Homo-oligomer: A and B are copies of this chain.
Amino acid sequence: MSQTTPVPEVQYTDIRDRLRQFVAERDWAQFHTPKNLASALTVEAAELLEIFQWLPTGKADELDEQAKTAIRHEMADVLNYLVMLADALHVDLFAASMEKIVLNAIKYPVEQVKGDARKYTAYDNDPKIDAP
């Protein structure tokens, strides 16, 4: 790329708009109920997980180029369904994200949870783990 023609960075709204067009061209909005989008998002997340599932530790250095490409594609699928769902329900995804980080910061106080993912039972009456 020459210095005089920088490639413009992709923005959130670019993705949203491109997805709207993709769906409209195919007349697929009829299938895209929020429920179906949430289902598709879950399926894509599981396809992402599948790539990691038998790795000994699941650290980055266990991933070869083929796995990395597949991961990149599945992450894109997850994001795309998330953006379509946000669009359908008028959710400001980035604001929601920041809001949730604040809520999690309150739910998991530093002094209580630092370095410990296993003491959840001590600070959560629910047997499910939802931290870190």
Binding site for B on A (CB under 8 A): 9-12, 14-15, 18-19, 22-23, 25-28, 30-36, 38-55, 57-60, 63-64, 66-73, 75-80, 82-83, 85-86, 88-89, 91, 93-101, 103-105, 108, 110, 113-115, 117-118, 121, 127-132
Contact = CB atoms under 8 A, between A and B. Distances in A.
Contacts of A51: 38, 127-129
B52 A35 contact: yes
> DSSP class of A's interface residues: helix, strand, loop or mixed?
helix
A60 B34 contact: yes
Total copies of this chain within the assembly: 4
Nearest to A86: B75
A93 B121 contact: no
